[in-house]
Amino acid sequence: MPHRVVDFFRQSTHSLENQVSNLTKKKSASSAPHRRDPSSRVKKGPKRSLARPSATLITTEHLEGARAPPYSPRLKMSNSRASSFSSDSHKEHTHHHRRISFPSMHFGRSSKETHHVSLPATLDWKLESPPIVMYGDAESSSGALLSGQLFLNVKDEALEIESLTATLNIHVTQKKPFGNHCVECGNQYTELKKWELLQHPLVMAKGEHSFPFSVLLEGHLPSSTDGPLVSIAYEFKAEAIPGNPGAAPLSPIRLDKVLDVKRSLPTSEMPHHSVRVFPPTNIKASAHYPHVIHPIGSYTLALRLDGIARLNAKVNTVEYWKLKKLTWKLEETVRTVAPACGRHSPKLADCAEEPQNRKGVARSDTRVIGEKTLFSGWKSNYTSATESLVELELDYSLAKNAKFACDTKSRDGTEVTHQLMVELVVSQEWAPVNKPALVTHTGVGRILRMHFSTILTERGGIGISWDNEAPPIYQDVPPSPPAYSHETFSSGDNSIAEMLEPLDSAHGSGSSRGSTDIGKRNPAAF
């Protein structure tokens, strides 16, 4: 096979040289009789006649008119075919400049653009309610209001709409479902509300038509989340089915939107206090930290270590526990129950003793959303065995590009929790009581771990729950304008301006008859 490739390129090069040589010979033979007599050329010798064609200019037209050389018997069959194929392909490429096309194949966006069908109408929406935030936990929250308008924009002069519906569903996606590669096990839908915006078919004119909708999301519903095991999304879908009597049916007009539902938990004004003891040592850790944190912001944990020194009266020495390293981590734990669909659910006979197993299999996953290691930054005091302590203020927050999910809990078993883990590495040293500077390492070390429960939630801002909103109160309302007299309606000659009292005039002195009557008849109106 390699020798055929070499012969192919070699013969294609020879064929081009042969074309050029044959072209020069033909050109010289056709132009020679017009320049001079053939007999004189023979007499003068062949040298001058052979040198003149070598200086002939070869143009692109000559190359285009060139033909393949005749078959040479010394070439092999395969070489001759390769040579002829190369010359023909070169000729077609230089003369016609054609491009190779595959009509049955589509690349890129051409296939999608060709199948694009223009719809006679479009759907759009506009939310009129504030951002959907549920204030409080699932037991005490009153939910959130959702209201807006659905717009149907008709492009034709008239269009018949058979039905127009809208639904709001909770879409739970199990990323590790009960049955692998099962769509029903991996997706669960719960319908919250359905709107029948058209009760019967209706012909609509060209323009925009609005349809209002509203719903109350109950407080026990989970917030939108996207974790490594499960994702919860609120999907709003609208569908309009156009009618086309006597013709092919038109495709439905759809609108798909995703709502972002958040939950905001109240924060306490005072920081949470926690005390930990680490036996068999006498170390006691006292921590003050905020119990509720937010995705954006930095928070401080104040930590104090007591009992880090002990007096050994037998050998007259003091033993110290010195802090060498500190590491903090924000951990997120997701727990969910992957339910089984109808095809993969176990039979009742197999799970008669444990009916809970029929619901699905429990899944859990833990990931770190923020961490840092410190080797310094704390204050230590080792003056005496009774007054020795270590104090530090630890600043912690979520990582810059961390993927997180706020705390949530739903009735289907999905739960997201967070905790702050602090790990301290201490080593033991001792020194004589009279000479505390002579420190000796014992080679004994311990790792002290503390876990603090933390709630990660969205900021509430200045918003409050919808049921706590008070109606507007109008204060300092000015007195009502002067009333009309009865003579105004009965008299036809006088104008209204004559019957009304001027605003800048006194109550007692009236410039017209109507003002005097008003003051007499209704003195308490002002």
- How do residues 11-51 score in pLDDT, each as one tens digit? 555 555 566 566 665 555 555 444 444 444 444 444 444 44
- Residue 526 above 60 pLDDT? no
Output the pLDDT for position 511: 43
For the chain, the average pLDDT equals 76
Answer yes or no: is pLDDT of 77 > 60.
Answer: no
* pLDDT 10s digits, 249-296: 788 999 999 999 999 998 888 889 999 999 888 899 999 999 999 999
More confident residue, 357 or 277: 277
CA pair distance 457, 291, nearest whole angstrom: 11
Higher pLDDT, 232 or 39: 232
Planar angle of CA 274, 278, 280, nearest 5 degrees: 155
| pLDDT score for 474 | 65
Candidate CATH numbers 3.40.1130.10, 3.40.50.720, 3.40.190.10, 2.60.40.640; the one for domain 121-264: 2.60.40.640
Q: How many angstroms separate the CA atoms of 377 and 393, rounded?
A: 8
Is residue 423 within 8 A of residue 448, CB to CB? The reply is: yes
pLDDT in tens, 390-433: 999 999 999 988 999 999 988 888 999 999 999 999 999 888 88
pLDDT of 57 higher than 70: no
CA–CA distance, 192 with 10 (Å, rounded to integer): 76
pLDDT at 24: 61
Is cis: bond before 472, omega within 30 of 0?
A: no
| 304-343 residue pLDDT tens | 999 888 888 788 888 889 999 999 999 999 999 999 888 8
CA distances from 61 to 23, 31, 65 (A): 11, 17, 6
Whole-prediction pTM: 0.64
Q: What is the pLDDT of residue 465?
A: 81
Q: What confidence category does residue 468 fall into, taking pLDDT thresholds of 50, 70 and 90? A: confident
pLDDT of residue 63: 43
What's the confidence (pLDDT) of residue 56? 46
Reduce the DSSP state of residue 238 to 3 states and report it: strand
- pLDDT-above-70 percentage for the chain: 64
**Domain covering 272-456 assigned CATH 3.50.50.60 in the classification:** no
pLDDT band at 384 (very low <50, low <70, confident <90, very high): confident
Give me the amino acid identity at 385.
A
- Residues 49 and 10: their CA atoms lie apart, in Å, by 31
Amino acid present at 499:
M
R_g over Cα of the chain = 46
Q: Please determine, for residue 97, whether its predicted confidence score (pLDDT) is greater than 70.
A: no
- Residue 9: predicted pLDDT: 56
Widest distance between CA atoms in the chain: 149
User: CB under 8 Å, gap of 24 or more: what pairs does 80-85 form?
Assistant: 80/11, 82/4, 82/7, 82/8, 82/11, 82/12, 83/8, 83/11, 83/12, 83/14, 83/15
Whole-number pLDDT of residue 514: 40
48 burial (CB, 10 Å; 0-12 / 13-18 / 19+) is exposed
Contacts of 119 (CB under 8 A, 6+ apart): 155, 250, 251, 253
* Ramachandran quadrant class, 278 (left: phi over 0; alpha: psi -120 to 50; beta: rest): beta
Cβ-proximal residues to 360 (8 Å cutoff; 6+ apart), any chain: 178, 337, 338, 339, 340, 413
201: Cβ–Cβ under 8 A, 6 or more apart, which residues? Answer: 160, 161, 162, 163, 243
Alpha carbon distance 268, 485 (integer Å): 62
**Phi-psi sector, 341: left (phi>0), alpha (psi -120 to 50), beta:** beta
For CATH 2.60.40.640, list the domain ranges present in the chain.
121-264, 272-456
* Residues in CB range of 518: below 8 A, 6 or more apart: 482, 483, 485, 501, 510, 525
Element (H, E) at 277: strand 272-278
